[in-house]
Amino acid sequence: MDPATVQALRDTKQLLDDGIITEADFEAKKAELLGQPAPETPAAEPEPAVDPEEAALRAAIAGLEAELTAHNEQNAYYEGENAQIEQENAQLDAEIAQKSQEVEELKGQYFQAVAEGLKLGKMHQLLACDIRQINAFNCGRDVERIERAIAGWGTNERMLLDVLTARSKEQLLGIAQEYEAKHGKALLPVLKSELSGFLWDSPLPYLVRCLLTPSEDLDVEFLHDSMAGWGTNDGQLIEVLGTRSAFELKYASDNFKEKYGKDLRSAVDGDTSGKYSELLLAFVDAIPTRREGDKPEDNDVIEMYATSIHDGLEPDSEDCVAPLEGFLPEASAADIRALKKKYAELYGGEDVVEKVRTDKRFDSMWESENGRSNLRMLLLSRLHEPVTYGAIVIDHALKAGFLGGGFDGVDEKALSRVLGRHDKNFVFKIAKRHDELFPDKPLQGRFEKSLKGDFRAACLGICFGANESDLSGVGEAAAGE
């Protein structure tokens, strides 16, 4: 064997040892170098024949496995999405819980503000009373005078009225509290029993009830009584919803549901109808958001409302109510005063209150009480100052007629609401405002002419601050009729 062949064999063997070529390749190369025939490669065994049904089944299985893989991948995607959504929901729940806690804290602050507002209002009423009343007030002495007035058989109404008509609201509540602490029973039921007539219900017990009940609690009763039984006392309902402050209405609304088991909105909705009902409900819905305070809205906002209301009150306007409904429910007393001033500035001194009062379109609203459009009355109750509207209520009460009042044509309950619910100083202002509005029929003369007996004596004492001798004289005159 020549040296070249030997070297070639060595190189090939080295390639085999290094794993570069296979054993078969090495044997083939060796045979080639040595001049020997190449080793035969064993023939591959023939593949068995494939059954068509089995092939189809395997293809179906492969397809199902592919679909299952796709579904698994899709499920994994959705599980990732769900996990993200759950994480977002947990975050939202945490935010909602935090906001709910903040709302509860704000509600607590609001109710505290309501309570403080009522307390401050009472303090203001007491401080605003005539200094003579404060100097003359002695709670224990007044309780003793009431005891003497109701002692034994019969009641000395004149002595009783000397006390009840000469004191402020705050003082009367103090007297009732002192009496209950001393005798272990409430004063109001005692006086109701003493003052009730034998044949007919006298108006005097209702007036005394108003005098001796806290104003905010009276409003809750007024709202309920206005919608109790058959029909609606629209004047009474309007008087409360239209003239009370935001604080007072919030208290009345909350305690109405607590006391009577029905929310105020449902009661009003079920007892009224038409445009009048829509405006009443707007007033009720706005109770939580009605503005308060002495600062009105910005001038531009007030001007916008004044323009809108003026356009609505134009003869060719299709809706005279909507602009007023958009402003009055949430407006504060300061907003309303600013609106009336701006309205007069923009339209040559026109009075928006007078425009509403005289607009004949309100007469086409079928809801009315004693010939007066309820819708107009509701609007005017907000547009007027409370003192002015109180004077108007007294005027209406004194000319209510047979259907609107008692047998003497006077609505004694309406009179009692105004005179008994408010503090004495506020009633003085109402009486003064009445005489400014109706100078040809002074209130004192109307009382003396239209009212009877001890009820007349009480109304005169409350409105005009009569002292004991003046009151006694009125009572004696009434008894001689």
Residues constituting the chain: 481
Q: How far apart are CA 190 and CA 67, in angstroms?
A: 89
More confident residue, 57 or 385: 385
Per-residue confidence (pLDDT) for residue 39, from 0 to 100:
59
What is the phi/psi pair of residue 466, to 5°? -65, 140
Going by C-beta distance under 8 Å and a sequence separation of 6 or more, which residues neighbour residue 30? 9, 12, 36
Token pair listed for 364: 């086409």
Q: How far apart are CA 30 and CA 10, in angstroms?
A: 10
Give all domains of the chain, ordered by start, each with its CATH number: 384-481 (1.10.220)
**pLDDT tens string 51-76:** 787 778 888 888 888 888 888 888 88
**pLDDT tens string 212-231:** 999 999 999 999 999 988 88
**pLDDT tens string 348-384:** 999 999 999 998 888 755 455 444 588 899 999 999 9
Per-residue confidence (pLDDT) for residue 199, from 0 to 100:
37
Per-residue confidence (pLDDT) for residue 401, from 0 to 100:
58
- CA 146-446-168 angle, 5° bins: 35
Q: How far apart are CA 209 and CA 222, in angstroms?
A: 12
What is the phi/psi pair of residue 233, to 5°? -85, 85
Q: Do the Cβ atoms of 252 and 220 come closer than 8 Å?
A: yes
Most confident of 65-79, 113-127, 154-168, 172-186: 172-186
| pLDDT above 80: residue 474 | no
Q: Do the Cβ atoms of 419 and 210 come closer than 8 Å?
A: yes
**pLDDT tens string 39-49:** 565 555 666 66
For the segment 300-313, the average pLDDT, to the nearest whole number, is: 95
